[in-house]
A = this chain, B = another copy of it.
Amino acid sequence: MALRHAVLTALLDGEHSGYQLAKSFDVGMANFWHALPQQLYAELAKLEADGLVAGREVVQEARPNKRLFTVTDAGLAELRRFARTPSKPSFIRDDLLVKVAAADAVDAAELIAQLDERAAIAGAKVELFDKLMRKMRGELGEAEYLAHGTQVGPYLTLLRGRRFESENREWCTEAASVLRARAGADVTR
């Protein structure tokens, strides 16, 4: 039941609407948790009912009204309690890896195309994370930021996401080239 804690964490750096969360979940948070807008709206409603976040209505003219949420003291306490509970080892779920595991039994050309596509997506994520990290660091170098910056938490998780996607890109490229080489060898045999 960590979605609520991911939401509380996302709200630590100020008030957000459900809509804003839905966006930021696809950038800073997406390395370790993912959620659809509907889930976030539902979770915010539950968190408010439980007194862990407080919402305030903001009336707008040119746009629909919105509700901005902040973490309450009870919410902060809940987050601290959560941080003390044991963590279960993480897991990945990846359709593409399932397909690669079945590489010996399925169409190679199609797999290669999907690996190339995924490598490109991962590359774009690497650049996005680099940008976010540069922005967060500001004037400071990485070592300095890690030592003295505010928001080490988010910075560390961005670092993790950056490495994951970089790793991902490299592996997809390699796997594609391995499959290409084997397909080529089969043809000339």
Enumerate chain A interface residues (CB-CB to B < 8 A): 2, 5-6, 8-9, 12, 29-34, 76, 79-80, 82-84, 86-107, 110-111, 114, 118, 121, 146-147, 150-154, 156-157, 159-160, 163-164, 167-168, 171, 175, 178-179, 181-182, 185
Contacts and interface: CB of A to CB of B under 8 A. Distances in A.
B98 A2 contact: yes
A161 to B, nearest CB: 9
A105 B12 contact: yes
B32 A92 contact: yes
The 9 A-B pairs at the shortest CB distance, nearest first, are namely A32-B97, A103-B153, A90-B94, A83-B106, A87-B95, A87-B96, A9-B102, A34-B91, A32-B94
Query: Is the contact region of chain A dominated by helix, strand, or loop, or is it mixed?
Result: helix
Contacts of A105: 9, 12, 76, 79-80, 153
Contacts of A12: 102, 104-105
